[in-house]
Structure 1
Amino acid sequence: MPPPATPNPAHGLTADRATPATSDDLDPTHHLLPTPAGRTHVVQQGHGPLVLLLHGFPESWYAWRYQMPVLAAAGHRVVAIDVRGYGRSSKPASVAGYRMLDLVADNVAVVEALGERSAVVVGHDWGASIAAVSALSRPDVFRAVALLSVPYTPPGGPRPSEVFAAMAGEGSGGEFYVSYFQQPGRAESEIEPDVRGWLAGFYAALSADTMPAPGAPDPHFVGVGGTLRERFPAGVLPSWLGERDLDAYAGEFERTGMTGALNRYRNMDRDWADLAGYAGAPITQPSLFVGGARDASLAWLADAVKAFPDTLPGLRGSHVLDGCGHFVQQERPEETNRILLDWLASLPG
Structure 2
Amino acid sequence: MASDNFQAHDYYLMDELLSDEHKLIRETARAWVKKEVSPIVEDACQKAEFPKQWIKGLAEIGAFGPYIPTEYGGAGLDQISYGLIMQELERGDSGLRSTASVQSSLVMFPIYTYGSEEQKKKYLPKLASGDMMGCFGLTEPDHGSNPNGMITNFKDAGDGKHVILNGAKMWISNSPFADIAVVWAKDEAGDIRGLVVERGMKGFTTPETHGKWSLRASATGELVFDNVKVPRENIFPNIKGLKGPLGCLNSARYGISWGVIGAAMDCYDSALRYSKERIQFGKPIGAFQLTQKKLAEMITEITKAQLLTWRLGVLKNEHRATPAQISMAKRNNVHMAITIAREARQIHGGMGITGEYPIMRHMMNLESVITYEGTHDIHLLITGMDVTGFNAFG
> Normalised by the size of structure 2, how large is the TM-score?
0.22
Give the number of the structure whose residues are more often helix, by fraction.
2
Question: Quick check: which has more Rg, 1 or 2?
Answer: 2
> Normalised by the size of structure 1, how large is the TM-score?
0.24
